[in-house]
Structure 1
Amino acid sequence: MKKIILRIVVGLFIIAIIINFMIGYYLYDLAIERNVKDFLNGNQDLQVSAQAMEEFTQGDWRDWVKAQNFKEWKMKSYDGIALQGYFLPAKEPTNKTVVFAHGYLGRASDMGLFGQHYVEELGYNMFTADMRGHGESGGDYIGFGWHDRLDLIDWVNRVVDELGDDTEIVLHGLSMGAATVLMASGEELPDNVKAIVADSPYTSVNDLFAYQLDRMFKLPEFPILPTTGLITNIKAGYNIKEASALEQVKKAEVPILYIHGGSDTFVPTSMTKELLKNTKSEAELMIVDGANHGESIILERDKYLDTLTRFLDKYVY
């Protein structure tokens, strides 16, 4: 009888392991593999105001982007992935350049929503790139900012090489791009990087997945995410636990402006508050009440741009 019970227990344990790995592979395919992400269609947490949706899809900034003569830059990443970037010189010569990082499933041109202000009003050069696994860049997986942080630093070095040692650089990221610039903040950045702007970042990939796993599927973090992390490590070369903006900002030397919507349900506002609390460098926080994920610049444009400009004036000369 004991042997039968033991066999049943062992059998159930093996079945549980198999199911756990099946879920892990499913989550990898769902979120990290480069493919069509239908699961985001109709996601309540990504529903923004009609005003924001109209601006995202039909805003004048889109026509502005199309009208610009961006120079195409190409680069091989440290691990051999072909990356595509786009550089736009300012109308008048300047030593100021903004380097953008776009959000999940986005592309370089999306950052024209912010870039138009930098170029037209602040007189900056603008650089924006398709992150690995996005747009015209190569890669069969999404790095959620971790490998992208090293790509970003390589792009920064390219900007300095092209424009000269006196170049002053601002890193500005949105959502996944915000996590990317924060992950880069903990690395040894060139002295040219004077300020960082992080709009709607998450603390870590593991924290984001845990939050969404509960919100979307009502499933626990353990043992699913450790298994997903193992699979991600095997297939994409990084573990979702190590991909932490929170640990990186603890080493940051560059001033950081945090921006987050007060009603963000896709990446909770509490994550930015935790990042601020743990940031080693000088840091500021602007919360836009009533704004969902990534719509702060639209719902409170004047406040957003005034805060951004004031912050940049403190650190970029």
Structure 2
Amino acid sequence: MKKRTKLLIACASLVTVVAAGLFGAGLYFYKVAVVPAPKSFLSKPQRIKPSSPLYPAHRWYQGVHKQRWHELSATGHLKLDANYISADQPTNKTAVVAHGFMGNKDKMFQYAYLFHQLGYNVLLPDARGHGDSQGNYIGYGWPDRLDYVKWIKKVIARKGPDSKIVVFGTSMGGATTMMVSGVKNVPKQVKAYIEDCGYTNVSDEIAYQAKQLYHLPRFPLVGIVSAINWVKNGYTFKEASALNQVKKNRRPMLFIHGAHDHFVPTKMVYPLYKADKGPKQLLIVPGRGHARSYQNHPKLYTETVKKFLNRYLD
């Protein structure tokens, strides 16, 4: 009897130690994945040289007049920040541009330039927890989707009910764009979506990065981090699904992905494209790197976006 009791105590102790270790690992990777802070696995921004294809856009963005817009988050307790750039000629067309993971509005300068060249007003929000917006966690597009609906409504309130709006985003912003597309009662003034290298859902993307960066399996770590996120921020990683959202979409969407993307793997775009229920187009851009399709092939990128918008906004 004493031996059995000792064995049970030893087993219970082992389970406690393992559980404590897993929870500790979960808290560590929660900080890595969800807490806004510099990330060692992200490439450091490089200086834009005059020889870079991004140089004209960067130079333009530095000098163009920007209005500061503010909005409260959908939950009502966070102050959000954005830059608004008017088109050179008065227009009712506006592009709402969503940035990527640990990015900000200013890092989207090349896309602001692209839409400005096409004659659009441009609104560049900072997602919660990024740039000049308040927040202590990265939402991966899920809570942000409702914030962007508020930004869309602000555009309509300021620019008029005849507004024609395209929502655009890259990486996390691409996922945000797709998540917006499935929100019920998105204003009718949103005429189209363009997503560039967004992921299927947060669970898949974090599991992929855990394997790529740390050689860790999905189970049980991703589930533990997701549970911590649910307790702290109110949503699970599987719930945060761009794939499920595009199934609800009926408006035009352009899907763009680099042919050799190893941060959000290229293979993710195919189920997203297939699941979307609206008019759609897919562009796979030759070249390597994540969120570099515009930089790798600016002419192809611009012409594709231009033709898509001409079809659905003009």
**Identity in percent:** 38
- 3-state secondary structure, aligned to 1:103: coil
CA distance in 1, matches of 2:283, 2:10: 56
2:272 is the alignment partner of 1:272: no
- 3-state secondary structure, aligned to 2:194: strand
Q: Which runs of 5+ in 1 are unaligned?
A: none
C-alpha spacing 1:217/1:115, structure 2 compared with 1 (3 Å): same
Where do residues 43-122 of structure 1 align in structure 2 (5 Å cutoff)? Answer: 55=52, 59-79=55-75, 80-120=77-117, 122=118
C-alpha spacing 1:55/1:139, structure 2 compared with 1 (3 Å): farther
C-alpha spacing 1:100/1:41, structure 2 compared with 1 (3 Å): closer
CA distance in 2, matches of 1:271, 1:21: 29
The 10-residue stretch of structure 1 (25-34 or 167-176) with the greater mean CA deviation from structure 2: 25-34
1:9 is aligned to 11
Counting matched residue pairs gives 310
TM-score of the superposed pair, with normalisation by structure 1: 0.93
Q: Point out which structure has higher relative CO (alpha carbons under 8 A, 6+ apart).
A: 1
2:205 is the alignment partner of 1:203: no
1:177 is aligned to 173
C-alpha spacing 1:275/1:84, structure 2 compared with 1 (3 Å): same
CA distance in 2, matches of 1:96, 1:55: 29
CA distance in 2, matches of 1:219, 1:116: 40
Tell me the amino acid that sits aligned with residue 268 of structure 2. Answer: M
1:296 is aligned to 293
The 10-residue stretch of structure 1 (260-269 or 215-224) with the greater mean CA deviation from structure 2: 215-224
Q: Structure 1: which 4+ aligned runs deviate by more than 4 Å?
A: none
CA distance in 1, matches of 2:244, 2:9: 44
Shift of 1:59: 2.2
- Is the CA contact 1:206–1:225 (under 8 Å) kept in the aligned structure 2? yes
Superposed CA RMSD in Å reads: 2.1
Question: Once the two structures are superposed, what CA deviation does each residue of 1:142-161 show, in whole Å capped at 9, x if it has no partner?
Answer: 11101110110000000000
TM-score of the superposed pair, with normalisation by structure 2: 0.94
The 10-residue stretch of structure 1 (6-15 or 28-37) with the greater mean CA deviation from structure 2: 6-15
- 3-state secondary structure, aligned to 2:191: strand
Shift of 1:38: 2.5
CA distance in 2, matches of 1:39, 1:10: 37
2:144 is the alignment partner of 1:142: no
Shift of 1:78: 2.2
Q: Which runs of 5+ in 2 are unaligned?
A: none
